[in-house]
Amino acid sequence: MPWDPPAGAGPLPVELAGRARRILDAQLESMTMLGKVRNGALAHLDALSTVPEARNSARPLFLDVQG
């Protein structure tokens, strides 16, 4: 959702421009990192969906977590 500055707030003071840029850069970096983490989680969920459901059976079921 786009952000709209409050009405009547006036322009950003020049002395705060650097701080505002650093905050924006940090937010964009966080968004990138969260996107990568989300994609990793989705990949893990996709891999888990390939594991057969546990059933009452005489044979053991192993999950290879190394490969």
Q: What are phi and psi for residue 61, nearest 5 degrees? A: -120, 125
pLDDT at 57: 67
What string of DSSP letters covers 11-43?
Answer: SPPGGGHHHHHHHHHHHHHHHHHHHHHHHHHHH
Task: Tell me if residue 30 falls in helix, strand or coil.
Answer: helix
Task: Tell me if residue 34 falls in helix, strand or coil.
Answer: helix
Question: How far is Cα 11 from Cα 16, in angstroms, rounded to an integer?
Answer: 11
- The domain ranges of the chain are 17-48
- The reported pTM is 0.60
- Mean pLDDT per 10-residue interval, the chain, length 67 residues: 85 94 96 97 92 72 74
Residue 17 has, within 13 A of its CA and on its CB side, a CA count of: 4
